[in-house]
Amino acid sequence: MANFFKENTKKSVKTQEKQMLTVKVEKLDLNGCGVAYYKKKPVFINGSLPNERIETQLIEQKNKYARGKLLTISQVNENRITPKCSHFSFCGGCDLQHLNYEQQLIFKKNKVIELFSRSGMAADIIAALPWQKPIAASQWHYRRKARIGVQFDKNAQATIGFRQKATNQLVAVKSCPVLVKPVDRIFPILKELVAKLSVKKSIGHIEVICTDISNQLSNHLTLVIRQVRTINAHDSQLWQEYAHNNNWDIHFQCDENNNKNILNDTDDLNYGLIDDIQINFSFNDFIQINHSVNLAMVEQALSWLQPESTDQILDLFCGLGNFSLPLAKKVAKVIGVEGVQSMVDKAGANARFNKMDNCHFFQTDLNSDWLANEKLNKWVNNKFNKVLLDPARAGAELAIKQVEKLAIQTVLYVSCEPTTLARDSQFLLSKGYEIEKIGLIDMFSQTKHVETMVLFKRKCKRKL
């Protein structure tokens, strides 16, 4: 059999990836990445903005899209600003520092609108959404809790910082302007300390929490050092010395042999809420990382729900009682429900600490048909007239179906993920609810992340 070979006139993938292009950026995608088009294929270029003409080098080619590296900008978007952080180009923590703050909020609002549209929400409803003023605080120095990575090279030299964009490698961070003071400049101190440890490569990562005393963020820090092997006496003493000199509380967690031994794991941290409420927590617990925005968010929730003395309110995904306890000060009864028993226990302890006897907490898998087992979940027999939901990113798909069956007239949904908010909102709208108010919560300034608060009211009877 004769073999005939045809010259391959196509460029190799590697050659294509090295290709230099001059393109115009059309828009930002949902992650805040600039999108241009070349031969009808979208090209994603981090750091670019709409209406910019740029030169880019292709670094990845797929059948349906490509990725490029931003090289130069010949036509600059009028809303571009100089990033405050010197690590912005490499660090994966922030996405939007090159875009002025007002435009960041517009981007986030448009992101919610686009996801609502993708979910099938009617165009007339989207056009008439009753947007309220966004909740926003300081653009900088807002994050009171962070996980700082530690990686070692073959010479046991440590890199301390955050992950680079789209990789598991760390950026060596010197300071971080989104962290509260003095956490923002803790990196050189940690690097100096780690260099003195006798057991190298012993640390996985370090969690830092700025605690709250008397309703004000203090300079007192709690550090949780995640050890991959048990710490020795020399290194423990070194940490204690640095803790004393820098006003730190330190805790160690050792993962060696899967033995997660946490030392001094007590609920001795706290933050203040409105009406002199104090939330006690431990360093393993979830808390909102933006203290100022959290206070404003709780106040807005109360304002939108308009609690009255006769109300019985259901708080689903209640956590430590962040919403439950402020509501309980104004209504007849609050029932908080959470899937994790330890959080239920701590929420109950917070109610007792704040001397509230009308706020009760229960453990239930909220991603189940909990109405089907009223004998087990006796709390469902209360006559709720309002409900607040604050789910994780997975949303509240099953929980809102139960809420709809309860025929609760007022639903306040606090969302940290607009994709699942869009899905769950579409369900409520299909069951006779209308959106009375909607607003952004800028919990994570300088990033692509969007939080949203939506108030639903039932305008028609439930269909049987």
- pLDDT, one tens digit per residue, over 324-364 is 999 999 999 999 999 999 999 999 999 999 999 999 999 99
Give the three-class secondary structure for 194.
helix
Give the three-class secondary structure for 36.
strand
Q: What is the pLDDT of residues 193-230, one digit of tens each?
A: 999 999 988 899 999 999 754 444 456 799 999 999 88
Catalytic site includes residue 33: no
Question: Rounded to whole angstroms, what are the CA distances from 228 to 43, 250, 260, 433, 459?
Answer: 41, 16, 10, 51, 56
Per-residue pLDDT averaged across 263-283, rounded? 82
Per-residue tokens: 272 = 């203040």
- Helix (H), strand (E) counts: the chain: 10, 21
> 105 with 134: CB under 8 angstroms?
yes
Within 10 Å of residue 340's Cβ, how many Cβ atoms? Answer: 12
pLDDT band at residue 460 under the 50/70/90 scheme: low
Q: What is the pLDDT of residues 400-447, one digit of tens each?
A: 999 999 999 999 999 999 999 999 999 999 999 999 999 999 999 999
Per-residue tokens: 152 = 């070692």
Residue 262 is predicted with a pLDDT of 44
Q: What is the pLDDT of residues 142-165, one digit of tens each?
A: 999 999 999 999 988 999 999 998
Round to whole Å and give the CA distance between 197 and 190: 11
Percentage, residues of the chain above pLDDT 70:
90
Q: Is the pLDDT of residue 259 over 50?
A: no
Strand order in the sheet with 359-363: 359-363, 333-338, 312-316, 386-389, 410-415, 451-458, 433-441
Any alpha helices (H) in 164-290, and if so which ranges? 187-195, 233-246
pLDDT band at residue 12 under the 50/70/90 scheme: very low
Q: What is the pLDDT of residues 38-58, one digit of tens each?
A: 999 999 999 999 999 999 999
Give the three-class secondary structure for 418.
helix
Query: 250-254, 256-260, 281-285: which range is least confident on average?
Result: 256-260
Round to whole Å and give the CA distance between 168 and 151: 10
pLDDT band at residue 246 under the 50/70/90 scheme: very high
Per-residue pLDDT averaged across 12-34, rounded? 85
pLDDT band at residue 301 under the 50/70/90 scheme: very high
> 37 with 13: CB under 8 angstroms?
no
Q: What are phi and psi of 291, to 5 degrees?
A: -65, -50
Average pLDDT of the residues of the chain: 91
Q: Choose the catalytic residue: 33, 210, 416, 460.
A: 416
